[in-house]
Structure 1
């Protein structure tokens, strides 16, 4: 995962922790709602999360063309 993110700033969420797994299971769209790069470690612990995403994710200003 660190190879994918390289030197970019990213939100790191680890599903090894019980509280993060509960958040991902209870509100999957809220868990992944983040406008920038996010890395989710141990995603296999919540398999349904990989198919979840907000219908319209906000774009970060850096990724929006001028």
Structure 2
């Protein structure tokens, strides 16, 4: 890790939806849809703030989705 990188620590939650919401904070999450078969999740952001959240957290969001 270089000197400019920041590390976010997220407390583990058994509730997967709550864990995802807290991990993506402070994004304004509208809905989280879990798919247990594929072990994936779809996260819906509130459209009003989407562009701001993408700019602020875009790098992290992309890395979590890949």
Structure-1-length-normalised TM-score: 0.28
Q: Which has the higher contact order (CA 8 A, sep 6+)?
A: 1
Structure-2-length-normalised TM-score: 0.28
